[in-house]
Amino acid sequence: MEEADLKAPEFWEEVDRFRYRNRFTSDVAEDAFATADPLNETGQLVVRGLYVDVRSPNCVDRWINWALGGEKI
């Protein structure tokens, strides 16, 4: 699989939909989409539709959160 340059405007001219995967939970937001001008002047990507199902954290979630130095959940 070829890596894409997400900061290249040409990339966003060809992409209409993509998937966002949460690094912590591995949940996927299937309906995520970039705004009309996804790259703002700071170089940050602006994305909408990052909706994922919410569930209660289990023991593994709590341990990972603790190991990463997160707040108590």
Cut 0.85: pTM above it: no
Reported as a single tens digit per residue, the pLDDT across 1-53 is: 577 777 777 777 777 667 788 877 788 888 887 776 767 777 777 778 888 77
Q: Tokens for 38, please give them.
A: 């996804």
Distance CA 15, CA 35 (A): 11
Residue 52 is predicted with a pLDDT of: 78
Distance CA 18, CA 29 (A): 9
